[in-house]
Structure 1
Amino acid sequence: MASLRNTLVMALAAGASANTLRMDIARNPAVAAAQIEERSSYLRSRALSRRASDTVTAALENDLTAGLYSANITVGTPGQTLAVQIDTGSSDVWVPAPGLSICSEPASQGGGCAGGTFDHSSSSTFSVVEQDGFNISYVDGTGVAGDYFSDMFAIGGATVKGLEMGLASSGTIGQGIMGIGYNTSEANIDTGNGTVYPNLPNQLVDEGLINSLAYSLWLNDLDSSTGSILFGGIDTDKYSGNLISVDVYPTTRSKQVVSFTVAFTSLSATSSSGTDVLTPSDYAEAAILDSGTTITLLPDALAEMVFEELGALYEESLGAAVVPCSLANKNGTLNFGFGGSGGPVISVGVDELVLPLTLTSGSTPKINGQDACQLGIMPAGDLPILFGDTFMRSAYVVYDLVNNRIGLANTDFNATGSNVVPFASSGAAIPSASTAPNEAAITQTATGNPKVDVTPTAGGVTSATYNPTATGLSAASGFTAASSSSSKKNGGVARPEPFAWSRVLVGLITVALMGAGGLFHLL
């Protein structure tokens, strides 16, 4: 195009008008085509630039040993790199301080801070927001405490200036957590010690890094080492079939939306021999979608039906449902429906539900002479119904915190392409998503009582999860930072403690479970 520009300059110098020049160029097809291509290239580059600024993408690492997904972040100036667990069930970002006692404990005993610590004295932009104001505990009895502070925070190439976070100086968790739930569930609100502050998703919007308070999770399959989180948009290459959105429901007590609670409305099991429908046609239960929970908790009766379908046995000594590891080689799916008839149905392959089970000796327990694994589904007991990572790996999940909607589609495992579509503006609907058509039919029973509202349990839990996910039970519930009590803070649940399959401590016991009649009789 340089020669074209020179020609124009010479023509102008000769006194030709701009209109004459445009007519001359139009008569030359080669020149016209070149101009059109140059303009198109410019518009494409502008569109790509605009799209890049409207979304933030970060890789997630699947730590199969620890049973969590983590993202790399930097905090402070200069930036200090840490790996933090991503958690849609809590709302505070917090990082461990170097003096956190668990960091000095042996990793073999559950200690260590492998994700790194944050040394505030090395950051020139560190500022204390509230000394001793941060205190958060989780249903599994773990928790941390320390200060609220603000500092530079970077993820996925985007930097948030002055993000408010917690700095854990004491407690029983050795890896930081990136809570990205509703800011109405921040720990300082639940303790009554503060007011709502802009957490990470809010700050991304406030600083113009994304258009709307929304993000998408693609965890990928159980064997994959990486997934991704996309703030401010969706990636149409990461799911298959239709993306359908459903309502997120408020609590009955506060009438506020504080957790990602949706209407779970059907479950079936499918194999080459057919399909078993496990729920009645009018079934509807409140359920929480939570990336910070390792496994999936179903209503007791429904969990028992799943155990029967898959030939699982509940072993009290392990606090887990166990299956032969060979189940992972079987074909078949559990199909979870949401939002009533016509709503999204997510098919979870049984291979995605078989988790490793290792004794402290390093050996694998046995069931009927076969290697035993844990089934990634448990009875909920008095806890809420929770769809954790054993479900969410099979779902592409879009969280729209402005419109209180969740978009769901079956994930496209190990997808190599990417087609990012940003939310057009704040409050815009989920791109490419349709709406579940029959949600109104499942909001109330014949008696007029809501079927999918969350009723707080004893102790005030409204979004109780574990391993770990915030419950709002911090200082007010008796957690003290110096305590290492293992008592459960779950509203007095009498069932066995939820099983952390990555930390099973059963000595040299071999699980010799007999009577597994009907083992994998369907799938």
Structure 2
Amino acid sequence: MKLLLTLLSVLAYISSTIAVKPTVISVTPAQNWEGIDGSWNTFALRVGTPPQVVRVLPSTNSQETWVIAPRACLYEDDKDACAEARGGVFNTNASTTFAQQGLYDLGLEKQLNYSGNAIFGYDTVALGYAGEGGPSLNHQIVGALAKEDYWFGHLGLHPKSTNFTNVTQNVPSFVASLRTEGLIPSVSWGYTAGAPYRFAKVQASLSLGGYDRNRFIPNNITFPMAPDNERDLLVFVNGITAVNNHNIHDSLLPIPIYAFIDSTIAEIWLPVDACRAFESAFGLSYDLATGLYFVSDTLHNALISANPNITFVLSSAPGLQTTQITLPYAAFDLTAKAPYRGLAADQRYFPLRRAANDTQYTLGRTFLQEAYISVDWERQNFSVYQCLWNPNAPQLLVPIASLDGHKPRNKKRPSPLSTAVVVGIVFGVVILLGTIIILSFLLWRSNRRRKQREADVLVKEKNDDVEARDDRVIAKVELDAGDSQIPSQFPMEKGMLEKGKFHNEVFELPGDLPDHPEADGRELSEKEAIRVREHRYNGIEEPPLENSPISPVSPSTGTGLTRNITSATVGISPITPSDGTSSLASLRGGAIRGGPSKKRIKASDVHIIGGSTRRAGSAHGTPGEALEGDTGPALTDTPVDRKRFSFERKL
């Protein structure tokens, strides 16, 4: 349990401090194709708290997030339809995290005569719909506008900062904040507007921190950024040509120009001479009231039949290597809807606009339908590629490395992990803990079984050892309890015949034993006492008896024996004393059998060691009678005090 708690603590610490490796963020486009100046693929954002979903377009020229305010539909009869047509509205009053900074003018696209104002403030901005796992950033600049010049809100891709009060209080852009938080590898992105006329409508592609390699045909041309951060994505347009099905070539750009790539607007702004060349080549008519080129149904059918391709020849500067971006007529076949440019009804139009000066030369979203642009703000360069149309090509995101070695410029705390990452970590922890628990249980059960087997083996070995020791036991042999071989002098009761483990007959002596006759109380000499002690504790080897057909028998209490019995007359073995007193050699004629010298010692010469003695009786148990051959003094009840040996125990 302690191990599991420790592991959980470590995993919690790792999950709270883990630094997610920066990767390319692919912003998923919405399924909507919408707009009043054409059909464009928008992207969803979640703004404020609680999140309000709006659909916007990417802006390569803006560094801020713009949304449509509810007042944009204030005077519309169907406010909901109006809000839906503009990609949804954001109510600043409904957001608890919106920090209003004030009402400011919109300076974006002022060179194209766009104008308006918006309520700006700080709020939370997240990419994509809920559940898509898009990153969310706090304290982002949000402008809520109502002017029709900017029909949709937009997500600014420019990294430059914004300030509201003075030049020292700069607020980073959304892309720069992603880099600061370590969510993308560099301040870079790749974008193409999508093509509703290709296949089943090819959606737009927006990658932050890199590009999608499978969306374009590569080339080796790099464009440096212009020093003006209001118009930094400049390309040199060497020429524009048109070729139709009849192989008729038309030059549509009399003089090469520098043009600004800007996804904020829809049209292509060219010099008036170039516009007149387009009018001549395609039969276009210019509408002075709206400044648009309308296309009649008849002209539209003719252009569809001719199917001209319009090619832009680009380079970074005059005389340098060029690349070509070709657009089919379908890319110019757009429909303008009310209230765009004051229109009251829908009208098919050609997205070409007359520029008053070189600050208006612009390649808008129409151009980006067939072109893919990859921008590296850190290296101050970008690339423009021809789009690759492969409907089955998978997404191949390639990160653009940062100049500072993949490290965020501002080393703040790591951003909170996304929901998908947190769910993945929790799921991984649960799987890991489950695996550990299962392995621990299996290991515990294995150890338990192993210990049980070892215990069984020990028990079996012990039992086998006991059985082996039992096999080595020598069967006891006892006297037959049957009739004595001595006639009538030693009447004995018939005993039992036992069968032991080894089926040996067991012979038993009568159960009643006589009192041991004791010698007189003469104190033994030191040598004799040592011999008696050795006999008592260690036993001594009896000298061999004289050859006799029968063993001597000790008298049995209550048998009525009237004389001493010797081994020469009785064929029984001497009995061993059953008590714990000193065991002398078998008394024979009142003597004690000695050691190897066969010296006989009188009973009167023996003194029982330890404790008091009692007066000896006769062989028949009669008190006061001395044993045969006893010439010494009678035993007394007076204890004899003597010094005991250290090995002797007190009786």
- Normalising by structure 2, we get a TM-score of 0.49
Aligned mate of 2:354, from 374, 379, 398: 379
Say whether the 8 Å CA contact 1:239–1:412 is kept in structure 2. Answer: yes
1:293-329, CA deviations, whole angstroms, 9 ceiling, x for partnerless residues?
Answer: 1110111112211221222222324422233222134
Q: What is the CA-CA distance between 1:118 and the residue it aligns to?
A: 3.0
Q: What is the CA-CA distance between 1:181 and the residue it aligns to?
A: 2.2
| Superposed CA RMSD | 3.5
Aligned mate of 2:397, from 399, 408, 421: 421
Q: Distance in 1 between matches of 2:166 and 2:355?
A: 28
Q: Which residue of 1 aligns with 2:235?
A: 262
Say whether the 8 Å CA contact 2:375–2:382 is kept in structure 1. Answer: yes
Q: Distance in 2 between matches of 1:348 and 1:393?
A: 8
Say whether the 8 Å CA contact 2:122–2:140 is kept in structure 1. Answer: yes
Q: What is the CA-CA distance between 1:87 and the residue it aligns to?
A: 1.5
Q: Which residue of 1 aligns with 2:300?
A: 325
User: Does 1:209 find its partner at 2:183?
Assistant: yes
Q: What is the CA-CA distance between 1:73 and the residue it aligns to?
A: 0.9
Q: What is the CA-CA distance between 1:198 and the residue it aligns to?
A: 1.0
Task: Map 1:176-325 onto structure 2 (within 5 A).
Answer: 176-183=153-160, 186=162, 188=163, 195-223=169-197, 224=201, 226-242=203-219, 244-251=221-228, 256=229, 259-271=232-244, 272-279=246-253, 284-323=256-295, 324-325=299-300
CA shift in 2, pair 1:377/1:192, >3 Å = farther
1:408-442, CA deviations, whole angstroms, 9 ceiling, x for partnerless residues?
Answer: 1111246332342332421499xxxxxxxxxxxxx
Q: Which 5+ residue runs of structure 2 have no aligned equivalent?
A: 1-18, 406-651
Secondary structure (helix, strand or coil) at the match of 1:273 reads coil
Q: Which residue of 1 aligns with 2:28?
A: 58
1:83-142, CA deviations, whole angstroms, 9 ceiling, x for partnerless residues?
Answer: 1232112221123444x3534534699954642233445545x152x6216432454444
Say whether the 8 Å CA contact 1:149–1:164 is kept in structure 2. Answer: yes
After TM superposition, the structure 1 stretch with the greater mean CA deviation from structure 2, 212-221 or 355-364, is: 355-364
Aligned length: 361
1:207-264, CA deviations, whole angstroms, 9 ceiling, x for partnerless residues?
Answer: 111111111112222433731211111112111353632122113xxxx565422322
Q: What is the CA-CA distance between 1:385 and the residue it aligns to?
A: 0.4
Q: What is the CA-CA distance between 1:279 and the residue it aligns to?
A: 4.8
Say whether the 8 Å CA contact 1:103–1:112 is kept in structure 2. Answer: no
Q: What is the CA-CA distance between 1:355 and the residue it aligns to?
A: 1.7
Aligned mate of 1:338, from 314, 318, 341: 314
- Normalising by structure 1, we get a TM-score of 0.61
1:471-497, CA deviations, whole angstroms, 9 ceiling, x for partnerless residues?
Answer: xxxxxxxxxxxxxxxxxxxxxxxxxxx
Secondary structure (helix, strand or coil) at the match of 1:70 reads strand
The amino acid that maps onto 2:27 is T
After TM superposition, the structure 1 stretch with the greater mean CA deviation from structure 2, 67-76 or 166-175, is: 166-175
CA shift in 2, pair 1:72/1:104, >3 Å = farther
Secondary structure (helix, strand or coil) at the match of 2:177 reads helix
Name the structure, 1 or 2, with higher relative contact order (CA <8 Å, separation 6+): 1
1:178-199, CA deviations, whole angstroms, 9 ceiling, x for partnerless residues?
Answer: 2222425x4x47x967743211
Secondary structure (helix, strand or coil) at the match of 1:242 reads coil
1:337-392, CA deviations, whole angstroms, 9 ceiling, x for partnerless residues?
Answer: 2225422210111221122256867576xxxxxxxx31121221235101011211
User: Does 1:354 find its partner at 2:333?
Assistant: yes
Q: Distance in 2 between matches of 1:321 and 1:418?
A: 38
**Bigger Rg, structure 1 or 2:** 2
Q: Which residue of 1 aligns with 2:126?
A: 153
Secondary structure (helix, strand or coil) at the match of 1:158 reads coil
* Percent identity over paired residues: 19
CA shift in 2, pair 1:357/1:94, >3 Å = closer
Q: Which 5+ residue runs of structure 1 have no aligned equivalent?
A: 1-48, 365-372, 430-523
Q: Distance in 1 between matches of 2:211 and 2:44?
A: 20
Q: Distance in 2 between matches of 1:174 and 1:278?
A: 30
Q: Distance in 1 between matches of 2:124 and 2:374?
A: 28
Q: Which residue of 2 aligns with 1:408?
A: 384
Say whether the 8 Å CA contact 1:243–1:408 is kept in structure 2. Answer: no
CA shift in 2, pair 1:107/1:296, >3 Å = farther
After TM superposition, the structure 1 stretch with the greater mean CA deviation from structure 2, 306-315 or 114-123, is: 114-123
